[in-house]
A and B are shown apart, each in its own frame.
Chain A
């Protein structure tokens, strides 16, 4: 299979403009004859569904939540980047492009990233017009803040709830189209399979989560905007329901999965407090602007803290190791996410971690409070401190916070070309569900930007190019392909319900998470990955023999929903391991212990691994086949990151 990224020819800055001119258009009167399925109603899905409906297409939008507005985009805190240069501080489309490519450790496509930076400015205009209440300055103009990985202030925000405000904006646009009759909304409906007719995506099979009814939905194109797969780790900052099922089932139908090993671990999360833990909560990265990260210098002191004999306040200044400041004198506590995360792991591995689990480091505000006063710190981080206290019961004004890294975002996803179409004609992937723009590491405040760029400003153009050549005949949902897909799903559900084993779904999920975190988490090595692969395979086998799913299929059955998602995670997990094992270099969110500089920093291998690894499914329990898309860099020079 030859992977054609379809990046337009010509100078970087003109590619998108040229492409928009070259794509085929669909006559407005004809658009209403086409049906488009959009799976997922987060930022990418809701914005795509609304925009396509505005153009005239008939859209069917699906989400597993009770309302489109609950998608996990809602939880994004920090902000959204845009190259507006409102601050007159030297920002430009090119700079945003450059920062994103560099931040992604040179593992993303120049053309895609440049387009992302280009349309970023339109996103802000669009959201403001929808009534999104961004933060403003006293003069009434929009405020910006700076964010990790950038030297300019280009992040637009709405307190700590930027994701919620942007999502509600898109949800409202979507709701408007529901009223206009252009969007038919299917809530509490989960996509369980992709239906292909003559090699093209022509529909999906869904399960109505309330009645259990298996439904067939036909269309002329299918758009997946179903988010990332961070929950393969069981514990992550994702929502409990976030899953990879839509994307994975499409993968099983032939869509390639690209760079699945690229996982972003966020350094400032509230540590795990016990085995019952169900999810991890992120604390905004901005805390590292004023907090100092440390652990005790010796294992003995750490041990006494873990046992509860002494507290952080008993540790004398000379017995504290401010390890980030020590190792990275120029960036200090503000090193990028992956570096901060990895170093936290190292000190904990050395036995110097705090908290009863030994998996936490301190983030201390004592010096900041002494320097700026409690009021200033409260003004900056008050709501975060409150949230921390709500969850942990400890007051961060008095005792240092405890933090630990957690899985946050997955850069990998379905392989798509410049048009966001997967290798299956008519199947598109948007937002976190695709792999396209963040390379091996995503910069802060870029996820919201990408989701909305894809939905508002890319897919409305590129979809037409595909649709224009297609007959508008209604999709026949009685076609044998639908029969076959529906039967497959029914069989799978009956199988899950009939096993009646001893272990609960959560139990399997938790074990998978442990394996993934231990061997395919913050740092990886060949030996561990090989071992993990065997473990995941064995676990998957056991799952299909011994899982316990109660209830029936014709009612609301959350165990069944979970089981079907975990079954996919058990396959996806293995592919992540395979991908991590094959990528014999360290880059961004993928750190292989064998490939590091003398100072312990990530060591890329641009000669051999400057490509997108796209995996093809060959059948259950069979090895996936690797396809490579070489990355071409014509505009940026590849350099090694250094934060010393």
Chain B
């Protein structure tokens, strides 16, 4: 198939940036979206132009690097699918595809479609862990965890930290990301010890980073490649009030 691509090009963070239109021909429907972008980049390189920069790595939907806003949707039109797993059979011959970077104050554009998502790392650094050192831990089977709880914690832990939730949210809120981590650790007995200070610190950092607030539109879950549930957001709210009103941190 032949396609027209409207791609956001921006040389560096201070550049104003703008759309450029490219044509790519003979795209196979079996290609992944990123392979189609590879074709474009080969084409640009041969023509002596700079290739379109975009983040990508594992190309199997798990590392969370890829981050494109395709035709008005985070990760494109397929549900539960990261950009790298999106295939060209979901597009039509002759179609114009608009490709933009994630847009959020907390995710500044680095170049073209590459954004800086280190805000997520800083949120985890603020408390998204269990404070245990290596060694000296109890036997793995010492504390039984009900299967249902373990499964629930797992489904929260499935988050790949791609930032589609922020990109899709009209408020650029990071609540789904933060709540997934808070939930995973609040559910498990190992994480319960620090649950109050953890949620307090992570929410404070989330606000410092400049993400918006949650208005429960559910767009995040709908666009999340891992389908992280809204349940997590309810839980972080609960955890937060509980912490704020009952913890000893004045």
Contacts and interface: CB of A to CB of B under 8 A. Distances in A.
Chain A–chain B contact at Cβ < 8 A? yes
Interface of A: 47, 50-51, 54, 65-72, 74-75, 84, 86, 122, 124-131, 133-142, 158-159, 161, 163-165, 168, 171-173, 175-176, 178-179, 185, 187, 210, 237, 239-241, 273-274, 276-279, 281-282, 387, 390-393, 456-457, 460, 504, 506-507, 548, 550-551, 555-556, 558-559
Contacts of B184: 131, 133
Given A131-B191, A137-B147, A556-B53, A506 B42 contact: yes
A559 B190 contact: no
Given A129-B138, A276-B31, 18 more contacts: A51-B133, A65-B65, A70-B65, A74-B62, A133-B150, A133-B188, A139-B144, A140-B147, A141-B144, A185-B121, A237-B60, A239-B58, A240-B56, A276-B38, A277-B35, A282-B60, A393-B87, A550-B49
> Which of the listed residues A50, A126, A136, A550 has the most CB atoms from chain B within 10 Å of its own CB?
A136
B161 interface: yes
A11 B130 CA distance: 37
Nearest to B132: A129
Contacts of B87: 390-391, 393
A70 B154 contact: no
19 contacts: A67-B117, A69-B121, A74-B62, A125-B139, A126-B137, A129-B138, A129-B190, A131-B188, A134-B150, A136-B145, A140-B146, A140-B150, A164-B160, A175-B124, A179-B127, A210-B110, A278-B34, A390-B87, A556-B53
B89 A393 contact: yes
A68 B49 CA distance: 31
Nearest to A171: B124
A165 B157 contact: yes
Nearest to B11: A555
A172 B118 contact: no
Contacts of A179: 125-127
B250 interface: no
A72 B57 contact: yes
Contact of B130 (A86, A125, A131, A279): A131
A65 B63 CA distance: 10
B58 A72 contact: yes
B76 interface: no
Contacts of A84: 140-141
Most buried by A among B29, B81, B111, B125: B125
Contacts of B191: 131
Contact of B57 (A137, A240, A556): A240
B34 A140 contact: no
B216 to A, nearest CB: 26
Interface in B9-38: 11-12, 28-32, 34-35, 38
Q: How large is the interface on B (under 10, 10 to 19, 20 to 34, 35 or more residues)?
A: 35 or more
B118 A133 contact: no
B28 A278 contact: no
B190 A506 contact: no
A351 B46 CA distance: 36
A173 B157 contact: no
Query: Ordered nearest first, which 10 A-B pairs have the shortest CB separation?
Result: A140-B144, A172-B129, A129-B137, A133-B154, A51-B134, A128-B140, A133-B153, A239-B57, A136-B150, A239-B58
A559 B45 contact: yes
Given A75-B63, A137-B147, A555-B111, A69 B141 contact: no
Given A126-B137, A136-B145, A172-B130, A158 B154 contact: yes
Contacts of B145: 136, 140
Contacts of A142: 140-141
A21 to B, nearest CB: 16
Contacts of A187: 118, 121
B55 interface: yes
B131 interface: yes
Contacts of A134: 140, 150
B126 A141 contact: no
